[in-house]
Amino acid sequence: MHIREAWKDEPLVSNSGTMKVSVWRGQGDVGQFEEFDVPVLDNQTILDVVSWIQQESDPTLTYRFACRVGMCGSCAMMVNGKPRWTCRTHVKKVRKDGAIEIAPLRNLPVIKDLAADMTEFFDKWVKAEGVFHPSKTREDPIEPINHESNARQQASAAIECINCAVCYAACDSVSSNSDYLGPAALNRAWTLVNDERDSAAEQRLKAVSGDGGCHSCHSHQSCMNYCPNELNPTASIAGLKRESVKNLSWWGW
């Protein structure tokens, strides 16, 4: 039989009962978990579950998503205590004893229900000089980039970040030090340190090596464990530590 026909015989979804889903409800620091019974489907992501609740059970539930395919980084939440990109997290993979608990991302203030306030997360990107400073103007010819160069390869290895803040929520150093710039901002800074077209290397190293900078990282690698794009911010931060030591001046900063 043709493969497409065989697939057509399978029902797209099969209903096999319901599951208990606890969802955090509240604003700011005040709130509590509320339980919902959600139909179990064969193929179902955590974002599907949240959307079902909002569409079928309680339209006041607040949450955030955009692309639903793991590109935009807006749907991250805590699922059974772990930070996850919910649009690409299958219920089957994370259900614990048949139940699911969904809460807003850790280490960030809550706006309402499942929507965390990302302001400080993005402010820290800017603080870490996660901003490109061009060394040329638009009048200059486009600079050829050597993709084989060591610097470019280090930048490329860290570049696929979708700003989801999963690593930020996973990091205990962020929990214990609210000034800590966090894995995502530092990972971004590392890509720019290695970008030959950028002109602000010194300024950036200074921005990432003061209080709350790369030296606040304890290298325990939660960021790497949870990053949905399998990036390794710990390695990027180690790179920043090395560079800052290389550029250390005992009389200046």
Partner 1 sequence: MLNTRLYYLQRVSAMMMAPLVLCHIALMIYAVQGGLSAGEILSRTQGSVLWALFYGLFVLAVSVHAAIGLRVIVFETFGLRGILLNAFSVVVLLASLVLGMRAVYAVVAS
Interface with ligand FES in residues 45-74 (CB under 6 A):
65-68, 70-74
Residue 220, binding choice from ligand FES, partner 1, ligand SF4, none, Cβ under 5 to 8 Å by partner class: ligand SF4
Ramachandran class of 139: left when φ > 0, alpha when ψ lies in -120 to 50, beta otherwise: alpha
- Token pair recorded at residue 166: 């999963």
Q: Which stretch binds ligand SF4 (CB under 6 A): 11-19, 127-135, 179-187, 243-251?
A: 179-187
Asked if 194 touches ligand SF4 (CB under 6 A), the answer is no
Other CB atoms within 10 A of residue 209 CB: 19
Q: Which stretch binds ligand SF4 (CB under 6 A): 39-47, 93-101, 103-111, 216-224?
A: 216-224
Asked if 167 touches ligand FES (CB under 6 A), the answer is no
β-strands 115-116, 110-112: how paired?
A: antiparallel
Asked if 90 touches ligand FES (CB under 6 A), the answer is no
Q: Which of 40, 75, 100, 192 binds ligand FES (CB under 6 A)?
A: 75
Residue 207, binding choice from ligand FES, partner 1, ligand SF4, none, Cβ under 5 to 8 Å by partner class: none
Q: Position 106: which residue type?
A: R
Q: Which of 53, 184, 192, 240 binds ligand SF4 (CB under 6 A)?
A: 184
Helix (H, G, I), strand (E, B) or coil at 242: helix
Q: Which of 20, 44, 22, 21 is nearest to 31 (CA)?
A: 22
Residue 183, binding choice from ligand FES, ligand SF4, partner 1, none, Cβ under 5 to 8 Å by partner class: ligand SF4
Q: What CA–CA distance (Å, rounded) separates 122 from 144?
A: 30
Q: Which of 45, 209, 234, 236 binds partner 1 (CB under 8 A)?
A: 209
Residue 82 or 215: the one with the smaller Cβ distance to ligand FES is: 82
Q: What CA–CA distance (Å, rounded) separates 30 from 32?
A: 7
b/e code 110-142 from CB counts within 10 Å (16+ = b): bbbbbbbebebbeebbebbbbeeeeeeeeeeee
Q: How far is the CB of 177 from ligand FES (least distance, A)?
A: 27
Q: What CA–CA distance (Å, rounded) separates 190 from 200?
A: 12
Instruction: Provide Rg for the chain, Cα atoms.
Output: 21
Asked if 173 touches ligand SF4 (CB under 6 A), the answer is yes
With contacts defined by CB under 6 A, how many residues of the chain interact with ligand SF4? 26
Give, in degrees to the nearest 5, the angle at Cα 129 between 237 and 160.
60
Interface with partner 1 in residues 211-230 (CB under 8 A):
211, 213, 215-216
Q: Which residues bind ligand SF4 (CB under 6 A)?
A: 161-167, 170-171, 173, 183-184, 187, 217-223, 227, 229, 231, 233-234, 237
